[in-house]
Amino acid sequence: MQSSSTLTSARARLAFAACALVSCSVEVPGSGAVGDVRGGSSLEQDGGFVPAQPPREAGSAPGLPALVDGGVAALDAGAPGCPLSGRYAVMVEFDVAWVGTQFAGILPVISAGEGKLSFAVIGEFIETGNSVGFEFRNCQASVPEFISTLPQERYQVRFSDAVWDSPNMPNFRGQLATCREPGCALRSTPIHALIGSALSDPAADWPTSATAGKWPDHDGDGRPGVNAFMLGPSTGGNTAYPPLDLLAFRRVQKLDLGMRVSLTLNGRRESCDTIAGVIEDGAIDTRGLDCIATSRPMACQPSELQFLDDNLPAWTVRQGTFRGMKVEDSDGCARIRELTGLGRTSTP
Q: Is the confidence at residue 266, as pLDDT, over 90? A: yes
By residue range, what is the domain housing residue 188? 4-340
pTM of the shown model: 0.79
Q: Which of 148, 144, 190, 197 is nearest to 168 (CA)?
A: 197
Q: Is the confidence at residue 91, as pLDDT, over 90? A: yes
pLDDT (0 to 100) of residue 321: 98
346, part of any domain: no
Q: Is the confidence at residue 198, as pLDDT, over 70? A: yes
348, part of any domain: no
Give the mean model confidence (pLDDT) for residues 239-257: 94
Please enumerate in sequence order all residues whose Cβ is within 8 A of that of 181, keeping only pairs 6 or more positions apart, or say none: 81, 82, 269
99, part of any domain: yes
347, part of any domain: no
Domain count for the chain: 1
334, part of any domain: yes
51, part of any domain: yes
Q: 276 and 266 in contact (C-beta within 8 Å)?
A: no
Helix axes 333-340, 4-21, angle to 10 degrees: 40
Q: Highest mean pLDDT: which of 36-50, 86-100, 225-239?
A: 86-100
Q: 159 and 140 in contact (C-beta within 8 Å)?
A: yes
